[in-house]
C-alpha cells in the first residue's frame, strides 16, 4: 500500500454520508493507475476495492452486500484520478 498517496473521501449514499480514507496499492496497471484501494470508513476497515469490466467490486473476496456504496466510493476514486 502506498500510504503516502492516501486521500480522504466523502460520499452521500441513500441519505447517509460516509467519509474515510482511500489508500492506493503500490501496484499499478498499464496506465499507471493503482490496481486496488484499501477503504477505511472512519477508523474502520471497509474493503479492498478494484475496478473490473463490470464496475467496482471487492478485491479477492466473495463477500456480498453494500454494492451501491462500493460503486459510489469507486466513482469518487475515479474522479480523483481524472
| Beta strands across the sheet bearing 16-24 | 7-13, 16-24, 37-41, 44-52, 55-58
More confident residue, 22 or 33: 22
Asked which of 19-28, 54-63, 68-77 is least confident by mean pLDDT, the reply is: 54-63
Domain enclosing residue 59, as ranges? 3-80
| Percent of the chain clearing pLDDT 90 (strictly above) | 67
Report the alpha-carbon distance of residue 6 to residue 3 in Å, rounded: 5
- Is this structure's pTM higher than 0.75? yes
DSSP lists the bridge partners of residue 23 as: 38
As for how many domains the chain has, the answer is 1
User: pLDDT, tens digit, for every residue of 39-68?
Assistant: 999 999 999 999 877 789 898 777 777 889
Q: State whether the Cα torsion 66-70-61-53 is positive or negative.
A: positive
For residue 74, the surrounding DSSP H or E stretch is helix 67-80
Asked which of 18-27, 34-43, 49-58 is least confident by mean pLDDT, the reply is: 49-58
Amino acid at each position: 500500500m502506498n500510504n503516502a498517496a492516501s486521500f480522504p473521501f466523502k460520499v452521500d449514499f441513500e441519505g447517509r454520508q460516509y467519509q474515510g480514507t482511500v489508500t492506493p496499492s503500490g501496484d499499478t496497471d498499464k496506465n499507471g493507475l493503482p490496481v486496488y484501494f484499501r477503504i477505511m470508513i472512519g477508523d474502520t476497515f471497509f474493503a479492498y476495492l478494484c475496478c473490473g469490466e463490470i464496475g467496482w467490486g471487492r478485491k479477492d473476496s466473495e463477500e456480498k452486500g453494500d454494492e451501491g456504496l462500493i460503486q459510489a466510493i469507486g466513482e469518487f476514486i475515479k474522479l480523483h484520478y481524472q
